Structure 1
Amino acid sequence: MTDASDQWKQWHERRTETVPAPCGPLALTGTHWLADYPDGRIPDIPGSWAADGGAVVLTAAATDGPTVDGRPVAGRVRLEPDTGPVASPRVALGERRLVVLVREGAWGVRDYDPGAPARRTFRGVAATAYDPDRAVPGRFAPYRESRTVRVPNAAGRGRGPALDGEPACELGGERRTLREARRPDGSLWAVSADATSEDGGFRFRFRYAGAPDVEGLTAVDLNRAQLPPCAFAGHFARPFPPPGNTLGLAIPAGERTLL
């Protein structure tokens, strides 16, 4: 238990360091969906931005300010979605980082500003101390095909994340399952909620797990349930848990709220 507890403390310390990083979630000052700007002009971001098939076309003059790959934009440049670290997208505007993204066919630009006030006022993340009873083995049962479930978010936009299977484990003396998505590296991701959300906790949290082994075995460690990005900045989408991922029991584990 000592090793597991120490590893959890290190995990929590890393989270506390990365959240207020210059391009961490607290630095996000805007998510601009291009469909909302048919003239291509995003407020406070120079140039003209337009979706064009499988990319975004940025048109700007060298004096406008945006750079791509470290060079001023002078004309048109075609930008595919940024898939690398947020701190190093192709487009910059001074110290700001402009991340091109696409979600279910909708193109957008996220604006990360190291000078965001939220970074200066951050005091930490409240988290429940490590509890070995909240780390249990599970067995992942994949679906034959991914299942898309339309889930509304706080902005009223429906999202249809692809769910790939369900890990089963024992919690509170009962068998529980969560509907999860498989990430590109094979690891698992779920949006879930429990009864502690009604007692001062955030409405839902994210849970990540390592890739299942050949027998489907994986670890279900609720101690590492973490606040979603939207808990730190309202410019992130707030995806609610899909049906079946709201547990009726209280699970006092993992990150709870901002301090």
Structure 2
Amino acid sequence: MSDMSGMGGMNGSGDDARQQWKTWHENRVATVSEPYGPLALTGTHWLADAVDGRLETLDGTVLPGRWTEGAGDDTIVLGATAADGLTFDGRPLDGEVRLGADDGPGTARVARGAQRYVVLRREGLWAVRVFDPDAENRRAFAGIDVFDYDERWVLAGEFRPYDASRTVRVGNADGRERGLGLGGELAFTVDGAEHTLQVAVEDDGSLWAVLADGTSGHDSYRFRFLRPPAPAADGTVTVDFNRTLLPPCAFADHFICPFPPPGNTLPIEVRAGERNRLTR
């Protein structure tokens, strides 16, 4: 496995790689700032915390409608009257409907004006997320602060799958502990020393790591994500730390991002990738 020095140009010439990264960064800022991007999330409300089906926000506001768990059929039941102002599939809702989990704001079936109500399910628990294009975080957004592109942080990596997938319990940004599935470890070398990260394997074969490093909490956000592509058949994979990502909870407090699992705090400063959200 190659050392950090001399890994520049793995994705093409230095100038080409830098331009590709610049385009990636611009697209990332545009995606984050979309009307229903992560900046638009104003709340995640768990049905388990509801009183008589009423979901209450931190400021005491009650969401319209009555949200309850369905009877053993993996749905929730939303009851509303015309006075609640909710729509279902674009039509005013006056009665009850059954809802399954949404893939995100783009598939949400319930709305109230410009707001979209996204149904979420995690470890058997139901929640409703509210996305509002007029959210304060979105109005105050001024971009994403990044470290300068550095081709030395484009590394040769090796994916080493576990014999069987593992689940570890980790803290989440909302203060609760949940399971994080892991499929193997990603190894790479920096300045002659090998480091590893425990990673999840996505449905498309790409990898996902939740990590911290020597910059976390002071020169970058407290933890970050890394999403390398699917490894080759022999396990080799390019690890480009220039594309280290801020987690969704860096853009809105209401996401439930997992913290790094044990062993995923690197003893080095990864001065590459996204650092923090910028505000006006």
Specify if TM > 0.5: yes
Q: String of CA shifts for 1:88-114, please: whole Å, max 9, x gaps.
A: 412111100111111111110110001
Q: Does 1:29 align with 2:42?
A: yes
Please show how residues 172-211 of structure 1 align to structure 2 within 5 Å.
Answer: 172-211=191-230
Partner Cα distance (2:92, 2:204) in 1: 34
Partner of 2:7: none
Q: Bigger radius of gyration, 1 or 2?
A: 2
Cα pair 1:192 1:205 within 8 Å, conserved: yes
CA pair 77-169 structure 1, distance change in 2 beyond 3 A: same
Letter of the structure 2 residue corresponding to residue 69 of structure 1? D
Given candidates 223, 233, 254, the residue that maps to 2:252 is 233
Partner of 2:163: 144
Given candidates 28, 46, 51, the residue that maps to 2:64 is 46
Cα pair 2:173 2:249 within 8 Å, conserved: no
Partner of 1:75: 95
Shift, 1:129, TM fit: 1.5
Cα pair 2:174 2:255 within 8 Å, conserved: no
Given candidates 112, 133, 137, the residue that maps to 1:93 is 112
Letter of the structure 1 residue corresponding to residue 28 of structure 2? R
Shift, 1:64, TM fit: 2.2
Instruction: Give the SS at the match of 2:111.
Output: strand
Partner of 1:16: 29
* Aligned Cα root-mean-square deviation (Å): 1.4
Partner Cα distance (1:212, 1:144) in 2: 16
Shift, 1:199, TM fit: 3.3
Partner of 1:169: 188
Cα pair 2:180 2:258 within 8 Å, conserved: no
Cα pair 1:40 1:50 within 8 Å, conserved: yes
Runs of at least 4 residues off by over 6 Å:
none
Partner of 2:78: 58
Letter of the structure 2 residue corresponding to residue 22 of structure 1? P
Letter of the structure 1 residue corresponding to residue 22 of structure 2? K
Given candidates 258, 269, 273, the residue that maps to 1:254 is 273
TM-score, with normalisation over the residues of structure 2? 0.88
Partner Cα distance (1:63, 1:155) in 2: 32
Shift, 1:145, TM fit: 1.5
* Count of matched residue pairs: 258
Partner Cα distance (1:31, 1:120) in 2: 19
TM-score, with normalisation over the residues of structure 1? 0.95
Bigger relative contact order (CA 8 A; separation at least 6): 2
State the percentage of identical aligned residues: 54
Please show how residues 215-226 of structure 1 align to structure 2 within 5 Å.
Answer: 215-226=234-245
Instruction: Point out where structure 1 has 5 or more consecutive residues left out of the alignment.
Output: none
CA pair 106-198 structure 1, distance change in 2 beyond 3 A: same
- Higher mean alpha-carbon deviation, 62-71 vs 143-152, is at 62-71
Shift, 1:11, TM fit: 0.8
Partner of 2:17: 4
Shift, 1:198, TM fit: 4.5
Partner Cα distance (1:118, 1:199) in 2: 21
Shift, 1:230, TM fit: 0.6
Shift, 1:257, TM fit: 1.1
Partner of 2:263: 244
Q: Does 1:125 align with 2:138?
A: no
Shift, 1:184, TM fit: 1.9
